[in-house]
Amino acid sequence: MTVDALGAAGLLGAATAAGWVDAVVGGGGLVLIPALLMAFPALSPAVALGTNKLTAISGTTVAAVTYARRTGPDRSVALPAAGLAVPAAGFGALSASALPAAWFRPVIMALLIVVAVFVAARPAFGAVQESPEAVSRHRRIFVVAFAGCGIGFYDGVFGPGTGTFLIMIFTSLLAMEFLESSALAKVVNVGTNLGALTVFAAQGQVLWTLGAAMAVCNVLGARLGAATALRRGSGFVRTVLLVVVTGMVVKLGVDQFG
């Protein structure tokens, strides 16, 4: 499978942009997967998803490490949720062919619209972190299970907005700032990407050479995105979140009704 110089430049640019978006609020797959399908019209969606996972896990891992060095994400949430996400995402990837994407799009669009309205209507949401003691142990256990199993399965079977949903879960249920929620989301997202990639690789649905080349650019974008978010703070993450959510709603709407 070959691509001309202009197409290659476009894919590498898309991988860089996807890494930046993923590092800040998630949603990079909505940049890179369409770019892959435009460059290779005959490419199967499964191969596009598998190759995207190879690219994304590289950038997400770098972003997670960058955040961890600066924000010190809560390991009691991040590590068990990421551990649960690996098998959950793998099971989701195995189930993908049996659950058509058309079933998910209307529900996900509705949820994203609710997220956008909620965040826009509450400027203080995600701007101030509450005391960790204010969150009960039972709620933390629920968040770990929901983020790891529920969102992990979703990322394997469908995927768009995984990082965004993780950020909203951590911000709303654990009373965190957007910046800390984004750091936690990156750690869990590494687990979801690893689980799904393992299944796609076993099924032979990964373009390894292309994915590796795009991974280099994705890592660059992820480092820039994480550094920008850390420098600009939760207000910046909130703004990018609203922009990305709006873009995801439009993209899913076009896919569903176009």
Q: What is the model's pLDDT at position 142?
A: 96
Q: What is the pLDDT along the chain (258 residues), one digit of tens a residue?
A: 667 778 889 999 999 999 999 998 888 888 888 889 888 888 888 888 899 999 999 999 999 999 988 887 888 999 999 999 999 999 999 987 777 766 777 877 888 888 888 888 877 776 766 656 678 889 999 999 999 999 999 999 888 788 889 999 999 899 888 888 999 999 999 999 999 999 999 999 999 999 999 999 999 999 999 999 999 988 888 888 888 888 888 887 887 786
Give the CA distances from residue 27 to residues 21, 70, 96, 164, in Å, rounded to whole numbers and listed in that order: 6, 22, 19, 7
Q: Other CB atoms closer than 10 Å to residue 6's CB: what's the count?
A: 9
Token digits of residue 10: 């476009």
Q: What is the model's pLDDT at position 38?
A: 85
Q: Which of the 8 DSSP states describes residue 134?
A: G
**Residue 220 burial (10 A CB sphere; 0-12, 13-18, 19+):** middle
Report the distance separating Cα 96 and Cα 88, nearest Å: 12
Q: Which of the 8 DSSP states describes residue 127?
A: T
Q: What is the model's pLDDT at position 74?
A: 86
Token digits of residue 248: 């995801």
Q: What is the pTM of this model?
A: 0.87
Report the distance separating Cα 89 and Cα 193, nearest Å: 7
